Amino acid sequence: MAKKEQKEKKQLIKKLKDKYRLVIINDNTFDERFSAYLTPLNVIAGLAVVFTLITLIVVGFIAFTPLREYIPGYSDTQTKLNALNASIKADSLEEAQRIYNQYFTNLGKILNGELDLSADSLQNIDERRVYEGLDFSASKEDSLLRLEIESQERYAINQGIPLDENVLGLQAFLFFAPVKGQVTAEFDRSIQHYGVDIAASEGEAIKAVYDGVVLFASYTYDGGYVIQVQHPDNLVSVYKHNSVLLKKAGDQVSAGESIAIIGNTGELTDGPHLHFELWHKGNPIDPINFIAFTY
């Protein structure tokens, strides 16, 4: 039985190696135009090579040309790019919605008197942020200067203040200067300049003037990067044209805590400075009457 199988294999191999002559003849003149000797094994190998080449060519066209966009299951590059942009925008909108929800939640708590803004409630403040290149620690000289200025403000706070009942309540506040520098533009209701401009070195830290909660921290067209802080007794402080915001809406801050960095952002600016406003019960107040900005 084994000899028979071996014999059949030898016969098959012999048939595959048998030579055949392929001849192309002119049917009218019977002239021989082409002839070639072929074996079944050569024919099979040739067909395999041709099939492989055709497969590689088709795969190359699909992988490296726009033809793949017409094949079901493949998406074009523009569609993928649009999907990526849509995903990024959706994520940004979700974050913006979260910030605004937090803003209105805190605002509602403040208006309803549900948020405790006493000094004791503002002790647990997240100090985990680290800002490289910025040294906010106070030296001995800075501390002595602060005590001196605070003591001067304590006795000079009423000078030049109109005796209005909305302003008299602020006499109990001891404000911390947001920055020290030259006042380049003063408070002027007639031109709707409801604050003061203080020129300072770019990159200098801006401090909160009093304990409170951040109401708004974002970018605006006119004011650039703006941060607003709600304080007790319906007092709001506003800091405009910053280069960096160190706090976000909903954060609690203490007087003297760094909340932003001096900058030159927004359309209504012509150099590094801080535009600072104080609003008490919905009315703008001249900050110079309460805070000493100059050295």
pLDDT at residue number 63: 74
Task: Enter the pTM of the model.
Answer: 0.45
Gap between the Cα atoms of 216 and 238, Å rounded: 9
pLDDT at 237: 95
Residue 126 has pLDDT above 50, yes or no: no
Gap between the Cα atoms of 73 and 177, Å rounded: 64
- Going by C-beta distance under 8 Å and a sequence separation of 6 or more, which residues neighbour residue 160? 289
Q: What percent of the chain has pLDDT over 90?
A: 28
**What pLDDT score does 107 carry?**
78
Q: What is the pLDDT of residue 295?
A: 61
In single-letter form, the type of residue at position 97 comes to: Q
pLDDT per residue as tens digits for the range 110-123: 777 665 555 455 44
* Nearest-angstrom CA–CA distance, 181 and 198: 6
pLDDT (0 to 100) of residue 25: 85
Q: Is 53 exposed, middle or buried (0-12, 13-18, 19+ CB in 10 A)?
A: exposed
- The pLDDT assigned to 124 comes to 46
- Of 117-121, 137-141, 204-208, 216-220, least confident by mean pLDDT is 117-121
| Entry field: residues in the chain | 295
Rounded CA gap, 93 and 156, in Å?
48
pLDDT digit string, tens, across residues 145-188: 777 766 655 544 444 444 444 555 676 678 889 999 889 999 99
In single-letter form, the type of residue at position 77 comes to T
Residue 106 above 70 pLDDT? Answer: yes
Does residue 208 register a pLDDT over 90? yes
Quick one: tokens of 111?
Answer: 């208006």
pLDDT in tens, 4-17: 777 777 777 777 77
Q: What's the pLDDT at 158?
A: 41
Band of pLDDT at residue 103, cut at 50, 70 and 90: confident
Task: Give the pLDDT band (50/70/90) at residue 73.
Answer: low
Q: Which of 19-33, 253-267, 278-292 has the lowest mean pLDDT?
A: 19-33
State the architecture of 136-289 in CATH terms: Distorted Sandwich (2.70)
CB 208 within 8 A of CB 105: no
Please tell me the predicted confidence (pLDDT) of residue 125.
45
Q: How far is CA 93 from CA 73, 85, 99, 214, 266, in A?
A: 30, 12, 10, 21, 22
Is 80 exceeded by the pLDDT of residue 128? no
Helix ranges (DSSP H) in 65-207: 77-111, 140-156, 165-168
Domain(s) of CATH 2.70.70.10: residues in the chain: 136-289
Which tokens go with 280?
């008490």
Please state, in angstroms and rounded to a whole number, the distance separating the CA atoms of residues 241 and 243.
7
